[in-house]
């Protein structure tokens, strides 16, 4: 069966080169990509690059097509399943909002009737400009999926909000747009609480104790739960990744703040997933002024254990399903099983951490989902977005078996 087909419009932005990686990654996921570019985009990356990557002719003008017997924008629009603009400049977003069609890409937009996605990239003051805000709101109201830009260094060298979302995040968002079969809302009416990301334990205002977690796995679980119809609260440590749509985000910095938020929101939750990589230690006596480097070559700090949030949530009791993560570099299942028993949770997602391959800082993961009834579901290697759905399936499977087991006991 042929894979889904995406029309990728590349507009003029320094981030245009990142669209090359988006094309490659979409192809890795079985998607056929056709690229159209604005004239300005061609100043950043040559159409030839995208032609070589996509294996298709790249159109900039409606008059470039070699097959004039059919109007190209109509043909391309008919032959595609999604229209995605990556990166989207402020100018192109404005044209989309107004329905201006003065080049091939903007004409294609009007000729296309299916799902549309826009991944903006621009300087932060442009992104904050009321004209851009209004245009983006207009597109959102029309059902266009906006892949929110992230904060970081911009083309100008300044720091701010406006960087194109990272290619793997853009690809995940496009893959979601492409899912056309109605998805079963298996979590409708349920409340899901997820923690994600690292925590930052400050020594002083500029120095922290932390770990390399990006938050991607927890964000993927939150996004999947929202898509399956749950009310989702995501308690997030410091991260730089795209916020999932339709999820309430509570931002925290350190383990103590995460503990407080998780405890506050647990009572109302049916399912709690502790995907955060909480720092195990924190400085005993953080200071509020920047510490000056002393002349000494070495320094020592007293650190103490952070509160174990998962154990505290378990002590709160209740019938909710409690899910933990165990990141290990060896003896994966034995250690995870031991942790499942010790922490008293219902499921433990055992996660092999192998630098650059699976676990922290990468987009793929390989896990084994263990539960306290002896269940064992291996998953991956697969994108974290897919693993998230498998984790939720395993949680629902566990809840069903638990219901049956307790009914049998009662009977």
The pair of structure tokens assigned to 378 is: 């291996």
Nearer to ligand C5P, 291 or 355 (CB): 355
Burial 338-348 (b: 16+ CB within 10 A, else e): ebbeebebbbb
Q: How far is the CB of 345 from ligand C5P (least distance, A)?
A: 8
The pair of structure tokens assigned to 380 is: 């991956």
Q: How far is the CB of 255 from ligand C5P (least distance, A)?
A: 6
Q: Cα-flanking dihedrals φ and ψ of residue 213, to 5°?
A: -60, 135
In whole angstroms, what is the distance from residue 224 CA to residue 230 CA?
9
Q: How far is the CB of 113 from ligand C5P (least distance, A)?
A: 44
Write the Ramachandran bin of 325: left for phi over 0, alpha for psi from -120 to 50, otherwise beta.
beta
Nearer to ligand C5P, 163 or 282 (CB): 282
Q: How far is the CB of 39 from ligand C5P (least distance, A)?
A: 49
Nearer to ligand C5P, 105 or 306 (CB): 306
Burial 100-128 (b: 16+ CB within 10 A, else e): ebebbbbbbbebbeebbbbbbbbbbebbe
Q: Which of 407, 374, 377 is nearest to 393 (CA)?
A: 377
Q: How far is the CB of 280 from ligand C5P (least distance, A)?
A: 6
Annotated catalytic residue 211 = yes
User: Helix (H, G, I), strand (E, B), or coil: what is residue 207?
Assistant: strand
Nearer to ligand C5P, 107 or 236 (CB): 236
CB 51 within 8 A of CB 58: yes
Q: How far is the CB of 368 from ligand C5P (least distance, A)?
A: 15
- Catalytic residue, chosen from 40, 135, 211, 254, is 211
Q: Which of 31, 33, 168, 146 is nearest to 96 (CA)?
A: 146
In whole angstroms, what is the distance from residue 25 CA to residue 167 CA?
8
The pair of structure tokens assigned to 221 is: 């679980």
Residue 245 is given by DSSP the state T
Q: Which residues bind ligand C5P (CB under 6 A)?
A: 255, 274, 276, 278, 280, 306-310, 324-326, 339
Q: How far is the CB of 261 from ligand C5P (least distance, A)?
A: 12
Pure H helices in 285-383: 309-315, 332-343
CB 304 within 8 A of CB 282: yes
Contacts of 404 (CB under 8 A, 6+ apart): none
Nearer to ligand C5P, 9 or 310 (CB): 310
Q: How far is the CB of 276 from ligand C5P (least distance, A)?
A: 5
Burial 273-289 (b: 16+ CB within 10 A, else e): bbbbbbbeebbeebeee
The pair of structure tokens assigned to 283 is: 């400085």
In whole angstroms, what is the distance from residue 218 CA to residue 195 CA?
6
Active-site positions read 211
């Amino acid at each position: 069966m042929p894979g889904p087909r995406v029309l990728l419009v590349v507009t003029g932005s320094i981030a245009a080169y990142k669209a090359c990686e988006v094309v490659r990654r979409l192809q890795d996921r079985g998607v056929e990509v056709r690229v159209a570019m604005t004239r300005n985009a061609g100043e950043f990356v040559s159409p030839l690059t995208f032609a070589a990557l996509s294996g298709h002719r790249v159109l900039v003008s409606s008059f470039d097509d070699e097959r004039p017997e059919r109007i190209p924008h109509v043909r391309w629009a008919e032959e595609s399943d999604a229209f995605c603009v990556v990166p989207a400049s402020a100018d192109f977003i404005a044209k989309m909002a107004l329905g201006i069609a003065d080049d091939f890409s903007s004409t294609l937009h009007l000729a296309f009737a299916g799902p549309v996605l826009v991944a903006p990239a621009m300087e932060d003051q442009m992104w904050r400009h009321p004209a851009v805000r209004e245009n983006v709101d207009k597109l959102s109201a029309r059902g266009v999926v906006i892949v929110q830009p992230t904060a970081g260094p911009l083309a100008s060298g300044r720091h701010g909000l406006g960087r194109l979302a990272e290619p793997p995040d853009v690809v995940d968002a496009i893959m979601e747009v492409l899912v056309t079969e109605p998805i079963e809302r298996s979590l409708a009416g349920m409340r899901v609480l997820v923690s994600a990301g690292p925590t930052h334990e400050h020594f002083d205002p500029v120095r922290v104790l932390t770990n390399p977690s990006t938050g991607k796995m927890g964000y993927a679980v939150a996004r999947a739960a929202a898509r399956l119809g749950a009310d989702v609260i995501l308690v997030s440590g410091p991260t730089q990744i795209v916020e999932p749509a339709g999820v309430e985000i509570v931002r925290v910095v350190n383990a103590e703040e995460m503990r407080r938020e998780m405890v506050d929101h647990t009572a109302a939750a049916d399912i709690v997933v502790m995907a955060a990589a909480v720092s195990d230690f924190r400085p005993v006596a953080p200071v509020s002024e920047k510490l000056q480097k002393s002349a000494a070559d070495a320094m020592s700090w007293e650190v103490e254990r952070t509160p174990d949030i998962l154990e505290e949530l378990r002590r709160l009791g209740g019938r909710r399903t409690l899910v933990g993560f165990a990141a290990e570099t060896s003896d994966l299942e034995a250690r995870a099983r031991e942790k499942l028993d010790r922490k008293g949770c219902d499921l433990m997602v055992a996660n092999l951490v192998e630098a650059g391959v699976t676990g922290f800082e990468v987009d793929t993961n390989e896990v084994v989902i263990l539960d306290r009834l002896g269940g064992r579901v291996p998953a991956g290697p697969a994108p974290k977005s897919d693993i998230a759905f498998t984790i939720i399936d395993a949680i629902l499977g566990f809840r069903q078996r638990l219901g049956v087991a307790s009914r049998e006991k009662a009977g």
